[in-house]
A = this chain, B = another copy of it.
Amino acid sequence: MKKYGYGVDIGGTTCKIGLFETNGTILEKWEIPTNTQEAGKSILSDVAESLKKNMKERGISKEELEGIGVGLPGPVRIDGIVPVCVNLGWKNVHVSKEMEALMDNIPVKAANDANVAALGEMWQGGGKGCANVVLVTLGTGVGGGIIVNGEIVSGSNGAGGEIGHITVNPHEEIFCNCGRKGCLEQYASATGIKRLAKERLATEHETSVLDEDEEISAKTVFDAYKRGDKTAVEIVDKFARILGNTLSNIACVADPEVFVIGGGVSKAGDPLLEAVKKYYCQAAFSSCTDTRFALASLGNDAGMYGCVKLILE
């Protein structure tokens, strides 16, 4: 194993870049803007330029680099091609091949950003020490990543770990962003919790601290929940039941050692974990009731960590 590796998490606005030791220590991180103009044609060369500059500054030679891992907001096919990546403007980009050509043949691997985040949390985050991890990211939407035997389950269509689009309510009448109805994301994301809260408050007769909350959000709901507000308890209970039940079904497929919960909503911390775990345990298949729950611990750096882990395999 060589000493260093770079993790490059390419997003629609910025590319987050980290220099790591291959033992998992992050030495330095920085960001460069993502230039999506002209079908994003300069993104990889901008990254390459930034990496070369860092290598020069640090005096790191090609021989000391294990490789470069790249995460991006779209599916990466088994043959390495990104068929389409809307946020970057890409069509049919062979990331590893192009990046290797730009980087003097230093080995490059690429994967989906949600999946590399799961790999990062497995390696150095909430799932450290485990080889079978499900990451659930509760943000604006619900994302996820499945790690089995230490490897990403990317799926044959790049839809491995798309757990936000598991159907949890066949009777839902409002559309999900994906064009279907009743997806987990419609209830367990920040947006979903806000919706659950508004629906509950519209039928509420008791007083609640949320009544006077004009900017209701997942955060204000969880804050009220922690203070014991009865309405907030009902809202969080509904969220936790839907998410806990869904995770119990995922356990019948992937049976992970740990569910790692991340994303903005997870800032609610242990009370959120406890609520979800309660419903999970009630619903889970008997062999899976002891599965652990942990908070993600790498925040927005999870993707960079996972990118580095990707090249260590």
- A159 within 8 Å of B by Cβ? yes
Q: A163-171, A200-208, A225-233: which one contacts chain B? A: A163-171
CB contacts (< 8 Å) of A248 on chain B: these are: 167
Q: How far is the CB of A87 from chain B (nearest CB, A)?
A: 16
- A27 within 8 Å of B by Cβ? no
CB contacts (< 8 Å) of A256 on chain B: these are: 155-156
Contact of A287 among B153, B158, B167, B249 (CB under 8 A): B158
Within 8 A of B (CB), among A240-298: 245, 248-257, 283, 285-288, 290-291
What's the number of copies of this chain in the assembled complex? 2
B250 touches A253 (CB 8 A): yes
A157 touches B288 (CB 8 A): yes
Q: What residue in chain B is nearest A257 (Cβ atoms)? A: B156
B178 touches A286 (CB 8 A): yes
A283 touches B162 (CB 8 A): no
Question: Taking A157-B287, A170-B245, A285-B159 as contacts, is the C-beta distance between A254 and B254 under 8 angstroms?
Answer: yes
A285 touches B180 (CB 8 A): yes
B132 touches A255 (CB 8 A): no
A75 touches B287 (CB 8 A): yes
Q: How far is the CA of A290 from the CA of B155 in the complex (A)?
A: 13
Q: A96-104, A144-152, A216-224: which one contacts chain B? A: A144-152
- A139 within 8 Å of B by Cβ? no
- A179 within 8 Å of B by Cβ? yes
CB contacts (< 8 Å) of A253 on chain B: these are: 146, 153, 160-163, 166, 250, 253-254
The A contact surface, by secondary structure, is loop
CB contacts (< 8 Å) of A287 on chain B: these are: 75, 157-159, 162
CB contacts (< 8 Å) of A254 on chain B: these are: 146, 153, 155, 160, 253-254
CB contacts (< 8 Å) of A151 on chain B: these are: 148-149
B285 touches A255 (CB 8 A): no
Q: How far is the CA of A245 from the CA of B154 in the complex (A)?
A: 21
A166 touches B252 (CB 8 A): yes
B249 touches A291 (CB 8 A): no
CB contacts (< 8 Å) of A285 on chain B: these are: 159, 162, 165, 178, 180
Q: What residue in chain B is nearest A179 (Cβ atoms)? A: B286
Q: What residue in chain B is nearest A255 (Cβ atoms)? A: B155
Q: How far is the CA of A179 from the CA of B154 in the complex (A)?
A: 33
Q: How far is the CA of A84 from the CA of B253 in the complex (A)?
A: 21
Within 8 A of B (CB), among A123-146: 130, 132, 146
A291 touches B167 (CB 8 A): no
Q: What residue in chain B is nearest A290 (Cβ atoms)? A: B157
Q: How far is the CA of A252 from the CA of B164 in the complex (A)?
A: 8
The 3 tightest CB contacts between A and B, nearest first, are A155-B255, A159-B255, A156-B257
**Interface pairs (15), CB distance under 8 Å:** A149-B151, A153-B253, A155-B256, A156-B291, A159-B285, A159-B287, A160-B254, A161-B252, A162-B253, A163-B253, A166-B252, A167-B249, A178-B286, A180-B283, A180-B285
